[in-house]
Structure 1
Amino acid sequence: MAATDRTLAIAAVSLAIGLTVLALKFFAWYLTGSIALYSDALESIVNVVTAIAALIAVRLAQRPADESLPYGYHKAEYFSAVLVGVMIIVAAILILREAYFGFLEPQLPEAPVEGLAVSVGATLINVFWALYLRRYGRRVRSPALVADAKHLMTDVISTLGVIVGLVLVYATGIAALDSILAALVALNILWSGWGVIRESVGGLMDVAVPPETQKTIREVIAQNADGAIEAHDIRTRQAGKLTFIDFHLVVPGAMSVEAAHTICDGIEAKLRETVSDLQITIHVEPENKAKHAGIVVV
């Protein structure tokens, strides 16, 4: 299976798992009547929305560039991740509302063992899937899948807190702890939503590649530009799984176009061997354009 088809299939599986976990968590809430478990179930609605957004974004990001979007659709995944962040924040607000009313009229949850068992089962599903999704999403550099995995892990942490807290509720008989737990879950979700939005906005703003990757790019150019004078104004940006690189390559004024083109081909080939999914633009300039800065080749 091609990598793009596998990514799309994984996004679809993520949606199916999200629906399954959602059903289990609402069943746990139905058994107990716990506001904390209800807040946990509400967060799972966001998981489903996240999976839908990721599926659409991954499918859209696979479309080839066309006349209207000549650089491709890769940033679609960042829009998906921003939507996920907003939905996470909305879920947190809904949970805070339920926690407030529950605190005004506290009630002890019912059927503790059955409800907690169902919740634990749903959490285990999320743990295994989140770990796999995060590893695969990072490998193929998919912002939508990575955002989905991050939210699932936040959901896992929240659920574990709810489970431990509910054990304390049953042990102490203090019904108000149920609402306090729900409020704490909501605050954790708010922080998660802000983190997802912050990272995704960075992608929309054409953030540069990490410093270690920039260093590698500069080294590759320096080692494979024999015959040129210097390379300057090196710029990089990340758009989904694609990395864009552009720079100016200064060559001797008497050098032929064919010779300059051969140098560019060599640099591009080595860069593609080192950094995957590249779009490279090289501006060739005569020696009177040298800035004596950047990467000096000779």
Structure 2
Amino acid sequence: MNSQDNLKLGVKASRNSTLALALLAFLKGAVGIYSGSMVLLADAVHTGLDIFASLAVLIGLKISLKSSGKHFPYGYYKAENIVALFVSLLILFSGFELLKEGFTGVSTASKLEFQGLALATAVFSVLVIYGLSVYKRNVGTKINSQALITDARHSYTDVFSSMVVVVAVLGSILGFSELNNLGVILISLLIFKMGIESARDAVLTLMDAWLDEEKSERIKKNIYNIPGLIELEDLKLRKSGLVVFGEATVEIEGETDLKRVELLSEDIKTAVKKEVENLEHIVVNLKPVRRKNLKLALPVLDRNGFQAELSEHIGKSPYFLFVELEEGRVGDWQILENLFSNSEKKRGVKAVDLVIREKANAIAVKTVAKVPFYMLRDNFIKILRIPEGAATVRDVLDRFQDLEEITAPME
């Protein structure tokens, strides 16, 4: 699902929630008047206020659906975060009102008629509001909507206030209407905590803060594993409503051709999308630089280290020597066996797979066929020509600065 589909799903959930709250407020108000339960009538008014919060989320999501205009090139997605902040303030207001009730000792009327009906309505209210909270939380989590998740938290706090109504009605029936005061105070403190957390998240998102460091580290790891990338210089992500915008700056080989630059850009975008489901857009800045460190692969016929004799063919080579070159200086090296040198089919392809797995970014060869050539090129591995007269690895390393790049298949 794209961001527009997610927004439409959020609008539907918010609309359903608003209608359910309106019906519930009407039911509690009617039963409150009919039974004489003032606490049930007060809870009906409280639910009526929740309708405005749910409407605010609905309006915010609908605004987010608008196409970007002249003055809003990044769209109206942050309208959702503004609404989330507004709903958070409503949560805090609800907590304050409940706290006042707890300290002033609000209780039900002394005479309560139709006690069973009042109690059943209060219990039904708890179940409905809890169901709405779970519904909105699930949809909000699915589409990554901060406003809908915040509204779900709001509904969740209302579950506790509705439970207070149940206790108040029971207390009135049993003659102990004061029993709910301590519970109201404790619940209001919990509501304050939720409201502050929701307001904090909304404000930080409006200020373009990115809070998911674990996801950022996974994205960076994915990008670092992309062949042809020298260095990830910077990664910036920011939420706007339920979508994410990003910018990545990476260093690549200076002489990389345009087609491979486009492929690399797409690989980076894919690496980010793998972790960010609602990625709306990401800008990839590619900085051409000269690579200082290389991992060079050479096909060889034996295990004699730098005195190993060079092989004429990639696929038929029984071994590969891999050597680290740090600003032209020889570093660590190892020799690995090519297990597919005697295969009848796709020897060259399987040998190139070995080179790719070892994360080599350059290979020196005497000749290269069409399929291995394009495999190496598409994985950003520079293909260098072994000069005439070079018979061993040492000969290649001594003349490394003079090696020419192969730009087309040789067979």
Aligned pair in 2 of structure 1 residues 147, 244: CA closer, same or farther (>3 Å)? Answer: same
Among 50, 54, 62, the alignment partner of 1:51 is: 54
After TM superposition, the score normalised by the length of structure 1 is 0.84
**How far 1:141 moved relative to its partner?**
0.8
Structure 2 residue aligned with 1:212: 214
Aligned pair in 2 of structure 1 residues 209, 282: CA closer, same or farther (>3 Å)? Answer: farther
Aligned pair in 2 of structure 1 residues 162, 244: CA closer, same or farther (>3 Å)? Answer: same
Partner SS state of residue 284, structure 1: strand
Residue-by-residue CA offset, 1:253-288 (whole Å, 9 max, x unaligned): 222344323211222134334432212111111226
Partner SS state of residue 249, structure 1: strand
Are the aligned partners of 1:35 and 1:99 in contact in 2 as well (CA < 8 Å)? no
Structure 1 residue aligned with 2:203: 201
Among 13, 29, 34, the alignment partner of 1:26 is: 29
Stretch of structure 1 that moved more, 123-132 or 11-20: 123-132
**How far 1:109 moved relative to its partner?**
5.1
Cα distance in 1 for partners of 2:200, 2:6 equals: 27
Equivalent residue runs for 1:219-234 within 5 Å: 219-224=221-226, 226-234=227-235
Cα distance in 1 for partners of 2:219, 2:101 equals: 52
Cα distance in 2 for partners of 1:238, 1:45 equals: 31
Structure 2 residue aligned with 1:149: 152
**How far 1:51 moved relative to its partner?**
1.0
User: Counting helix residues as a fraction of each chain, which structure ranks higher?
Assistant: 1
Structure 2 residue aligned with 1:263: 264
Cα distance in 2 for partners of 1:93, 1:164 equals: 20
Partner SS state of residue 155, structure 1: helix
Identity %: 25
**How far 1:83 moved relative to its partner?**
1.0
Aligned pair in 2 of structure 1 residues 101, 229: CA closer, same or farther (>3 Å)? Answer: closer
Cα distance in 2 for partners of 1:254, 1:122 equals: 68
Partner SS state of residue 230, structure 1: strand
Q: How many pairs does the alignment contain?
A: 290
**2:233 partner amino acid:** H
After TM superposition, the score normalised by the length of structure 2 is 0.62
Residue-by-residue CA offset, 1:141-198 (whole Å, 9 max, x unaligned): 1112111111111111221233134323432x24444666655554444443323212
Residue-by-residue CA offset, 1:3-52 (whole Å, 9 max, x unaligned): 44332222211110111121223234324555543443343123201110
Q: Pick the structure with greater CA Rg.
A: 2
Structure 1 residue aligned with 2:141: 138
Cα distance in 1 for partners of 2:105, 2:33 equals: 16
User: Counting strand residues as a fraction of each chain, which structure ranks higher?
Assistant: 2
Aligned pair in 2 of structure 1 residues 189, 32: CA closer, same or farther (>3 Å)? Answer: farther
Cα distance in 1 for partners of 2:220, 2:234 equals: 11
**How far 1:107 moved relative to its partner?**
4.4
Aligned pair in 2 of structure 1 residues 252, 90: CA closer, same or farther (>3 Å)? Answer: same
Structure 2 residue aligned with 1:9: 12
**How far 1:131 moved relative to its partner?**
1.0
Stretch of structure 1 that moved more, 213-222 or 91-100: 91-100
Structure 2 residue aligned with 1:283: 285
Are the aligned partners of 2:171 and 2:178 in contact in 1 as well (CA < 8 Å)? no
Structure with more relative contact order (C-alpha pairs < 8 Å, separation 6 or more): 1
**1:194 partner amino acid:** I
Give me the CA root mean square deviation.
Answer: 3.0
Cα distance in 1 for partners of 2:275, 2:103 equals: 54
Partner SS state of residue 245, structure 1: strand
Are the aligned partners of 1:166 and 1:178 in contact in 2 as well (CA < 8 Å)? no
Gaps of 5+ in 1: 291-296
**How far 1:221 moved relative to its partner?**
0.8
Do residues 78 (structure 1) and 81 (structure 2) align? yes
Residue-by-residue CA offset, 1:62-99 (whole Å, 9 max, x unaligned): 12222211112111111111111222333444455566
**1:276 partner amino acid:** E
Cα distance in 2 for partners of 1:98, 1:33 equals: 19
Structure 2 residue aligned with 1:293: none
Structure 2 residue aligned with 1:294: none
**How far 1:132 moved relative to its partner?**
1.5
Aligned pair in 2 of structure 1 residues 185, 127: CA closer, same or farther (>3 Å)? Answer: same
Cα distance in 1 for partners of 2:32, 2:103 equals: 17
Aligned pair in 2 of structure 1 residues 264, 183: CA closer, same or farther (>3 Å)? Answer: same
Partner SS state of residue 229, structure 1: strand
**How far 1:199 moved relative to its partner?**
2.1
Gaps of 5+ in 2: 293-359, 362-411
Are the aligned partners of 1:228 and 1:251 in contact in 2 as well (CA < 8 Å)? yes
Are the aligned partners of 1:81 and 1:197 in contact in 2 as well (CA < 8 Å)? yes
Structure 2 residue aligned with 1:235: 236
Are the aligned partners of 2:161 and 2:184 in contact in 1 as well (CA < 8 Å)? no
Aligned pair in 2 of structure 1 residues 229, 179: CA closer, same or farther (>3 Å)? Answer: closer
**1:214 partner amino acid:** S
Cα distance in 2 for partners of 1:267, 1:98 equals: 55
Cα distance in 2 for partners of 1:210, 1:108 equals: 53
